[in-house]
């Protein structure tokens, strides 16, 4: 038996009350979304309040318009995240049980689907208001990592989306993780990588601090698309790396494909998370290279 950390006794529900036979609960997952939105809104407002950070010393919008954009973005995240999970990860289940698609309180949100949803909402909002797209995208990229970090922590609290079996000293014994899944005899404990916390650190905390430093302490926002490119590439690389220790979705696993690879040839391949992250890495690199050609001088006009 190897050393491991027992899963802490944390309830997924922060508060639960019953009124008239109906149970109302505030879950950590919902609280993470709310807190992430509020922190993101604060960062976005602080950025647009500082005209000197932007091309031509003109912010892409007034601080009061951030709230309107965030409303569109939240709807895009929720709708896109849910539909992304349904289409990318469990299409067969939801095709057979379509009434479960709106049940987001049961879990099941995909970041890549949420990204598509928020991008669609963002493009529609920019088109309707005439806001400069790349600069608005930079503001939104700056605001996103806090929500990612808190969401991954909520995944850990919910004991979901855990990692592959491991014998590292910081492996966590999640409830419901069976001994046979780790190749252990019956009765033994199965420790797994706390991959949710790896993602919280990489795509949330570290990436968020990098973007804050670029936005507020360098002239990165004067190069439209640079902050967005760093976010896209940073998230893509972070997710790609964590996928090596993250437990793949059950629908991709089989006796001939124990690693749960969505694309594999001769035992080598990529998980679904890695496949979906590759376009982000490419997009991020393209935006970074494009932005580096933009004149960052204070009197450069917005693109």
User: How many angstroms separate the CA atoms of 275 and 272, rounded?
Assistant: 5
Using an 8 Å Cβ cutoff, are 32 and 151 in contact?
yes
Residue 271 DSSP SS3:
coil
Contacts by residues 28-35 (CB-CB < 8 Å, ≥ 24 positions apart) = 28/153, 28/154, 28/157, 28/158, 29/107, 29/151, 29/154, 29/155, 29/157, 29/158, 31/154, 32/147, 32/150, 32/151, 32/153, 32/154, 33/147, 33/150, 33/151, 35/146, 35/150
**Nearby residues of 137 by Cβ (< 8 Å), 6 or more positions away:** 122, 225, 228
Q: Which H or E run contains 269?
A: strand 268-270
* Residue 178 known to bind ligand: no
User: How many angstroms separate the CA atoms of 228 and 290, rounded?
Assistant: 11
* Alpha helices (H) in the chain, listed in sequence order: 28-48, 66-88, 91-96, 111-129, 133-143, 145-157, 195-199, 207-217, 226-242, 272-292
| 2 half-sphere exposure, CB direction, 13 A CA radius | 17
Nearest to 115 by CA among 242, 285, 279: 279
Question: Residues annotated in the binding site, as ranges?
Answer: 152
């Amino acid at each position: 038996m190897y050393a491991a950390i027992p899963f802490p006794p944390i309830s997924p529900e922060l508060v639960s009350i019953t009124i008239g036979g109906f149970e109302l609960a505030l879950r950590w997952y919902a609280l993470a979304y709310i807190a992430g939105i509020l922190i993101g809104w604060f960062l976005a407002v602080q950025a647009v309040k500082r005209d000197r950070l932007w091309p031509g010393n003109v912010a892409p919008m007034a601080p009061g318009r951030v709230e309107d954009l965030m409303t569109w973005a939240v709807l895009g995240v929720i709708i896109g995240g849910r539909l992304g999970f349904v289409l990318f990860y469990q299409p067969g289940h939801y095709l057979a049980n379509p009434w479960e698609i709106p049940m987001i309180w049961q879990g099941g949100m995909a970041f890549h689907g949420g990204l598509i949803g928020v991008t669609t909402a963002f493009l529609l909002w920019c088109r309707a208001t005439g806001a400069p797209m790349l600069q608005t995208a930079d503001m939104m990229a700056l605001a996103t990592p806090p929500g990612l970090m808190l969401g991954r922590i909520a995944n850990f609290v919910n004991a979901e989306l855990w990692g592959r079996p491991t014998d590292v000293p910081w492996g966590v014994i999640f409830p419901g993780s069976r001994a046979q899944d780790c190749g252990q005899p019956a009765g033994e404990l199965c420790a797994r990588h706390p991959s949710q916390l790896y993602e919280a650190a990489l795509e949330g905390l570290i990436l968020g601090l990098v973007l804050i430093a670029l936005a507020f302490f360098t002239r990165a926002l004067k190069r439209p698309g640079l902050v967005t490119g760093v976010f896209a590439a940073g998230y893509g690389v972070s997710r790609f790396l964590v996928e090596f220790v993250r437990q793949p979705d059950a629908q991709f696993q089989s006796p001939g494909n124990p690693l749960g690879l969505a694309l594999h040839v001769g035992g080598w391949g990529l998980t679904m998370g890695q496949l979906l992250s590759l376009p982000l890495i490419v997009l991020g690199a393209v935006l970074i290279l494009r932005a580096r050609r933009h004149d960052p001088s204070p009197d450069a006009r917005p693109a």
